[in-house]
């Protein structure tokens, strides 16, 4: 549970702030148009505000997808005895440079692929 | 379509506005920037707070929220939803009404045909020209069959030819659909060409209401005459059609070329704001330019 809690705490608020910023930047005229066309407040939220705030929401998700990996590795290095972070610490104490390099490569690939995944999703 | 009656409308700009708009009428709301034209449209649509009463066919609608007022609103910047294509933009209001997809499709086809935009149904707003955006926004406003159509300077950003073409298209549609409309502009030519009646608004007050000829030629007070300018009315001795909607008229020995569709011109009115005085000969074609001495 601890890794999940750490990922949640580190990723939730930046995504939330980006979502709020995205919602605030939706031009007032789009909301007015939707109102005059008969949309209820819920419909305005789901059909106008959220779709128009999506670029900001995805920016937050994309940034945090990479950041979540970095955070969890850091947590594993100091507090959680399993995972890539813990392996890195053990490799460091045994001076196993090969393991350290592989761990860093795995971390880089995971960060990049998660960011790429959210980037592709947002493009679609 | 209902008769619209505004009684003692007041808010932060509008001051005691009383106005009755007849069934199927096209009223042009004319005034300088900041006069309160858009605010009055927003009041009718229910988008901002106000004191007073608005009656649609003698029924007060003041307590009705915006989404049930049955007003079609064409905003100045058109505000087409960028994430929806033309068809989805137009059918947005129909879907919000809860219509079945079969009926939505039928109504959408009808509107695309009416506005002659069938070929752009699946394009997104970013890929449309100014005129096409204008037509799409108008179709979207008309889609839920509103009781009244509110148009806020929709042709502002278009070139003269496109703007004139769309004005004529809008007039055709307005007469065909017999929809009560309020059209906001600060362009006198636009107002003269379109209006059944013109209402002049200045500093939030309704200064004069009447048919265009009456309002343009007989200003009731100073603020109206300052805004419109007192036109120079010249009698035409003869006129000659030049083609392409241009006519050459002779007024007291001065030959002036004016845009006109018919064959006959008896009088022309030249607004002072359309007369430019220059010490030197300005560049460009030698059209409607006269050399003289100011004494």
- Averaged over A95-100, what is the pLDDT? 89
pLDDT of residue B160: 75
pLDDT of residue A37: 92
Question: What pTM was estimated for this model as a whole?
Answer: 0.75
Which backbone phi and psi does B42 adopt, to 5 degrees?
Answer: -60, -35
Inter-chain CB proximity A40 and B67 less than 8 Å: yes
Please tell me the distance from the alpha carbon of residue B88 to that of residue A37, in angstroms, as a whole number: 13
Q: Give, as one character, the DSSP assignment of residue A82.
A: S
pLDDT of residue A64: 84
Q: Which residues of A touch B47 (CB under 8 A)?
A: 32, 35-36
Residue of B38, B92, B133, B140 to mutate for A, most A C-beta atoms under 10 A: B92
Asked if B256 and B288 touch (Cβ cutoff 8 Å), the reply is yes
CA distances from residue A116 to A27, A66, A104, A122 in whole angstroms, order as listed:
29, 9, 18, 10
Asked if B118 and B86 touch (Cβ cutoff 8 Å), the reply is no
pLDDT of residue A32: 92
Asked if A51 and A12 touch (Cβ cutoff 8 Å), the reply is no
Residue of B41, B76, B93 to mutate for A, most A C-beta atoms under 10 A: B93
pLDDT higher for B110 or A119?
B110
Mean pLDDT of chain B: 87
Torsion of CA B235, B275, B203, B45, to 10 degrees: 80
Is B71 at the interface with chain A, CB within 8 A? yes
Query: Could you give the strand order of the β-sheet that contains B254-259, starting from the edge strand earlier in sequence?
Result: B238-243, B246-251, B254-259
- Averaged over A9-34, what is the pLDDT? 89
pLDDT digits (tens, 9 = 90+) for B120-165: 999 999 999 888 998 899 899 988 888 899 999 888 777 777 788 8
- Averaged over A13-36, what is the pLDDT? 91
DSSP B40-70: HHHHHHT-S--EEEEEETTEE-TTS-GGGS-
User: What are B20's strand-pairing partners?
Assistant: B5
- Averaged over B2-28, what is the pLDDT? 90
Q: Give, as one character, the DSSP assignment of residue B272.
A: G
pLDDT beyond 90 at B225? no
pLDDT digits (tens, 9 = 90+) for B229-261: 767 778 888 888 887 778 888 888 888 888 887
Inter-chain CB proximity A33 and B45 less than 8 Å: no
Total domain count for chain A?
A: 1
Is A30 at the interface with chain B, CB within 8 A? yes
B-chain residue closest to A52, CA distance: B83
pLDDT band at B1 (very low <50, low <70, confident <90, very high): low
pLDDT digits (tens, 9 = 90+) for B32-80: 888 899 999 999 999 999 999 999 888 898 888 888 888 899 998 889 9
pLDDT beyond 90 at B267? no
pLDDT beyond 70 at A97? yes
Is B154 at the interface with chain A, CB within 8 A? no
pLDDT of residue B63: 87
What interface predicted TM-score (ipTM) does this complex get?
0.75
Asked if A1 and A8 touch (Cβ cutoff 8 Å), the reply is no
pLDDT digits (tens, 9 = 90+) for B194-219: 889 999 999 899 988 998 888 887 77
pLDDT digits (tens, 9 = 90+) for B162-172: 788 888 888 88
What residues make up the domain containing A38? 2-123
pLDDT beyond 90 at B86? yes
User: What are B232's strand-pairing partners?
Assistant: B270
User: What b/e sequence results for B9-30 when a residue is b if at least 16 CB atoms lie within 10 Å of its CB, and e otherwise?
Assistant: bebebbeebebebeeebbbbbb
Which backbone phi and psi does B240 adopt, to 5 degrees?
Answer: -135, 125
User: What are B150's strand-pairing partners?
Assistant: B73, B182
- Tell me which residues of chain B, numbers 22 to 61, contact chain A at a CB-CB cutoff of 8 Å: 45, 47
Poorest-pLDDT segment among B87-91, B141-145, B226-230, B285-289: B226-230
Mean pLDDT of chain A: 86
């Amino acid at each position: 549970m601890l890794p999940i809690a750490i990922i949640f705490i580190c990723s939730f608020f930046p995504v939330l702030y980006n979502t709020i910023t995205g919602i605030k930047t939706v031009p007032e005229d789009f909301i007015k148009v939707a109102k005059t066309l008969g949309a209820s407040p819920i419909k305005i939220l789901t059909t106008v505000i959220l779709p128009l705030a999506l670029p900001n929401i995805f920016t937050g998700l994309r940034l945090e997808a990479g950041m979540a990996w970095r955070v969890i590795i850091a947590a594993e290095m100091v507090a959680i005895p399993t995972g890539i972070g813990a392996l890195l610490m053990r490799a460091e104490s045994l001076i196993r440079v090969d393991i350290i390099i592989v761990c860093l490569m795995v971390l880089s690939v995971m960060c990049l692929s998660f960011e790429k995944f959210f980037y592709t999703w947002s493009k679609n | 379509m209902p008769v619209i009656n505004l009684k003692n409308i007041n808010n932060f700009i509008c001051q005691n506005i009383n106005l009755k708009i007849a069934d199927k009428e096209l009223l042009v709301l004319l005034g300088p920037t900041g006069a309160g034209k858009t605010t009055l449209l927003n009041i009718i649509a229910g988008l901002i707070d106000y004191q007073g009463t608005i009656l649609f066919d003698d029924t007060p609608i003041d307590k009705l929220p915006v989404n049930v007022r049955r007003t079609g609103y064409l905003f100045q910047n058109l505000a087409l939803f960028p994430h929806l294509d033309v068809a989805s933009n137009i059918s947005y209001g129909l879907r919000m009404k809860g219509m079945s997809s079969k009926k939505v499709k039928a109504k959408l086809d009808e509107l695309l045909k009416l506005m002659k935009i069938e070929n752009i149904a699946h394009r997104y707003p970013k890929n449309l020209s100014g005129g096409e955006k204008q037509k799409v926004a108008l179709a979207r406003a008309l889609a839920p069959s509103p009781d009244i159509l509110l148009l806020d300077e929709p042709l502002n950003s278009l070139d003269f030819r496109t703007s004139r073409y769309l004005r004529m298209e809008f007039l055709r549609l307005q007469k065909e659909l017999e929809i009560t409309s309020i059209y906001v502009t600060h362009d006198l030519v636009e107002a003269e060409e379109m209006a059944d009646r013109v209402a002049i608004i200045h500093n939030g007050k309704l200064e004069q209401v009447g048919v265009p000829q009456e309002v343009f030629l007989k200003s009731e007070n100073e603020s109206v005459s300052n805004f419109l300018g007192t036109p120079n009315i010249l009698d035409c001795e003869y006129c000659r059609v030049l083609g392409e909607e241009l006519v050459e008229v002779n007024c007291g020995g001065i030959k002036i070329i004016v845009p006109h569709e018919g064959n006959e011109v008896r009088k022309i009115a030249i607004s002072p704001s359309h007369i430019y005085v220059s010490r030197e000969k300005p560049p460009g074609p030698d059209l409607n330019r006269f050399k003289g001495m100011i004494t």
